[in-house]
Structures are given as structure tokens and as C-alpha cells.
Chains A and B, each alone.
Chain A
């Protein structure tokens, strides 16, 4: 039991928190702009690398470097929108998807150019885990889960309590009706990018803390992020967060040694779990758990 908690449940929750942060942004973007943002993973990697540069360059802790990560991803997202997506706003969603794939390649090339291809890690002091009744908790894991919780709470307050958040939800319900009501859609779109980019910057730093930094780190979790968003119901940020946690747990628990010490699924196949969840969701409940927009 303790083994399950220490090696499967807690890592699953940590991974789930990271997926949730990334998937929530994807779902918001889909809701407001109706397209699958393929550059989200590389935006995540950009955030992680800028945080690394800030924390080593300025000698600050990784946690304190999160604002620097957001200060890179937010302008990157806004510039990509102004240069590419805004011009294609009236095109088919597939056209926007392909253009975001192009943006993804540009971001990744930039990361290779600036930081090189070799995997690196955040300079973290070695801290012994906290142990409660045999449950071993890495402090960084606690911070990741708490940090994701704070982000979720802040997003909830923005979406449900503020005028701008209400406009985002209104636009995701019906863009034309929102315009008739006087909503300046361009401003709502910018706000959506800001929020999604901040969330994905946090996700990037957390992913780097949980594993290591490499230029394809974000692209590697993009499929899982989409699977989370679709599992929760695309366009529904809460569903995406929930889907992320479920998927993180499913991935980590998939290698649990259930059959006489042999893992349920060889760890090499772990990343296939997202595919399976995605396919099963699309077959059984394509609208997702929380009735998405498809």
C-alpha cells in the first residue's frame, strides 16, 4: 500500500497537476478561438528554459523564476497570435491548427538555438523527503501540487467572478451573441492568451522540476494535454483540469506491479496510456466527461 502511495499515487498526482495546467489553457483557447493550439507544448518548454536561465543567471530559486517564465510565454503567445492566428481567424480550424504547428516548430528551433539539445536540470538543493507514517513526500512535489491548486483557484475566481472572465465564458458559448452584447472580442482573445500562457509557463517549470529540461519536453506531453482536455470535455476548463489529474494518475498507475511483481504495463508503454484514453473517450463519450463543445 505504502509503495503504491509513494511510487504511483503521488507521482501520478504531480504529473496530473502538470497535465491539468497545460490542458486547462488548451481548453480555454479552444473555447474562445475554436482551434487546437499545437504550439502549447513548445510554449511550455520555452517557459521552463527561461526559468532556468533566470534562476541560474540571477541566482534566484526556481520558484521565484516562474514570473520570468510567464514574462516569456505571454509575449510569445501574443506575438504568435498577432502575426499568424489573427489573420487566420476566419479560416477553418484545421488551418489554424497547422499554423500553430508552424509556430511550435519556430519556438522549438529558438530553444535549440539558445539552449542547445542536451537535457539539463534545474539547480535544486538536495532536500531529504518528508516522511509521514512511511509516506515519503518530496518538498518539490508538495509545491507542485499546491501551486497547481492555487492556479486552479485563481482561474476559477477569474472565470466566475470577474467581468472579463464572464466575457470569456460568454464568447466560448457563442461568439456572435457576445459581440452583440458589446464584448470586444479582440480583447477577450488577448486575455485568453495571457491566462493560457501563464498557466503553461507554470506547467513548464513544474515539468522541469519533476523531470528534466529538454527542447521537446513540452511536445512530449502535448498529446497527454489534449487527451486530458478532451476527456474533460474540450472548451471546459474545469473538465480539462479534472481530465489532467485522471490522466496523470492513469499513466503512473499503469506500471503498478499487480501481476506477481511484474508491472501491469511495461514502463516503456506508459506514454501510450494517453493514446488509449483519447481513443476510448472519442469512442465512448466524444463530448467528454463534462459535455464539451464537440
Chain B
């Protein structure tokens, strides 16, 4: 049984369903990458798992427990962390306060969490007192991932962690993602930057119109000519 099991997930905003029966597995220490065209439902899928979008049908099991439509604020204590695509830091809070928000549910773990965060992202050490709103896009992304890792989650969901970043930052982020997975944390990642992401993925999931189009090892998706033409830009 995988750590995260999504079965037949259907849901969306208001009356419209964006997800029409998605299946997905993600396990500890594994990088799973979700790719697909704009509007395929990638971000909505993550929000639904995180408890921010209403699930109308289907199951989401995390560590064997049903968590579909559980309150978003309860996920962090279950060990499910989520970094949204945009607006993923608290801009008026300093970097240190952003990290503190990562241990909001267990404030006593701030010190150890901060040590681990700074070990993974040493660049942040000099910026602890800076409001996160004044950081560059790449630094914000680091703060966002660091915040999500503060309570040592079992699975971290990253929504387009490299969106809008320079190639230098992109490879830095992908290197960190691999490191996180090596530490035994599951990584579920949505990426527009599909080729480099699939290259480090244990598994890739192609979404189209809110449904699974293909699920295969990352390398297999990369070499599949159909998938390449449709979703990876040739």
C-alpha cells in the first residue's frame, strides 16, 4: 500500500468538476511528477488533496487513513506538506517567521526544524530577518519549501517549484528535490518544466482534462513519442 493513494478523485470549484476521476500513488522516498497541459487539473489535484478544494467523489488515503475533505489545517500534523505555486510565502513575515509558521502546530520543534532548513538551504541564513516579500523568486521558493519541511513531513507536494526561475535556480531546486527524496520523504511535484523534472522522477503521471492519460516511470514517459509530442513540446 502506497503512502498516498488517490482513487477516482472527482471535484472542483463550485458546480464545475475539474478533476474527473484521477488515480495517483506516491510513496516515501519517491519523486512523482505530474505533467499535463494548462487546465489539465494539476494544481487543482494538489489543492484537493491538501483540503483546499472540495472533493465530490473518490478517495484520498494517506498512511492508510481517509483524508478526503479533511480540514486543510489538519494535514500538516498528518505529515502531508504542501507548497502552492504562487503566494507560497507570507510576504510581510520575515524569513524566520515564515519558518516558524512551518512549526505552527508544534512550536517546540522550531530549533531543530530551522537547523535542518538551513542545512538544506544555507543561503537563507543571511536573510532570516528579511521580510519574505522582499526576496527574489528563487529565494522565496526556498523559503516556501523550507517552511513545508519544518515538521519533517512524510510527503511534500510541490506545485511548479521552478515556475519563473532562472535555469540556475531550476537546477538548484531539482537538486534539493532529489535530496529531500533521498532523506525518505515522498515528493509529489507538478512541473511545467517537464523534461528535467521527469528525468529525476521515479514515476510520471500525465493528466489531461482531469483524467489520467498515462502513468509510467519518468524515463519511459520521456522517450514515449506520443507523450513527447502532446505534453513535452515535441
Q: Interface residues, chain A, CB within 8 Å of chain B?
A: 163, 166-167, 169-170, 172-174, 176-185
Min CB distance B110 to A, Å, is 10
| Interface pairs A-B: 5 shortest CB-CB | A182-B105, A179-B72, A182-B76, A173-B90, A181-B101
A-B contact count (CB 8 A): 68
Q: Report the nearest A residue to B80, measured CB to CB.
A: A180
Q: Report the nearest B residue to A293, measured CB to CB.
A: B92
B101 touches A174 (CB 8 A): no
B73: A residues at CB distance < 8 A: 179-185
- Number of B residues whose C-beta is below 8 Å from A? 28
- Distance in angstroms between the alpha carbons of A179 and B90 in the assembled complex: 12
Given A166-B97, A169-B93, A185-B73, A177–B88 Cβ distance below 8 Å? yes
Q: Report the nearest A residue to B144, measured CB to CB.
A: A177
Interface string of B87-106 (1 = CB under 8 A from A): 11111110001001110110
Query: A180 is contacted by which of B75, B92, B100 (Cβ under 8 Å)?
Result: B75
B52 touches A173 (CB 8 A): no
A170 touches B105 (CB 8 A): no
Given A163-B104, A163-B107, A180–B91 Cβ distance below 8 Å? no
Given A166-B100, A180-B82, A174–B72 Cβ distance below 8 Å? no
B101 touches A176 (CB 8 A): no
B77: A residues at CB distance < 8 A: 182
Min CB distance A78 to B, Å, is 20
A176: B residues at CB distance < 8 A: 52, 72, 84, 87
Q: Report the nearest A residue to B133, measured CB to CB.
A: A173
B91: A residues at CB distance < 8 A: 173
- Distance in angstroms between the alpha carbons of A172 and B87 in the assembled complex: 13
A183 touches B87 (CB 8 A): no
B102: A residues at CB distance < 8 A: 181
B107: A residues at CB distance < 8 A: 163
Min CB distance A159 to B, Å, is 11
Interface centre among B71, B72, B100, B102 (most CB of A within 10 A): B72
Q: Report the nearest A residue to B76, measured CB to CB.
A: A182
- Distance in angstroms between the alpha carbons of A183 and B89 in the assembled complex: 14
B87 touches A166 (CB 8 A): no
Tell whether B50 is near chain A: CB-to-CB under 8 Å.
Answer: yes
Some 26 contacts from A to B, beta carbons below 8 A apart, are A163-B104, A166-B100, A167-B101, A169-B97, A170-B93, A170-B104, A173-B93, A176-B84, A176-B87, A179-B51, A179-B52, A180-B50, A180-B52, A180-B73, A180-B75, A180-B76, A180-B82, A180-B84, A181-B73, A181-B76, A181-B101, A181-B147, A182-B75, A182-B104, A183-B104, A184-B73
- Distance in angstroms between the alpha carbons of A174 and B90 in the assembled complex: 7
Min CB distance A188 to B, Å, is 10
B50: A residues at CB distance < 8 A: 180
Given A163-B107, A169-B90, A169-B93, A177–B84 Cβ distance below 8 Å? yes
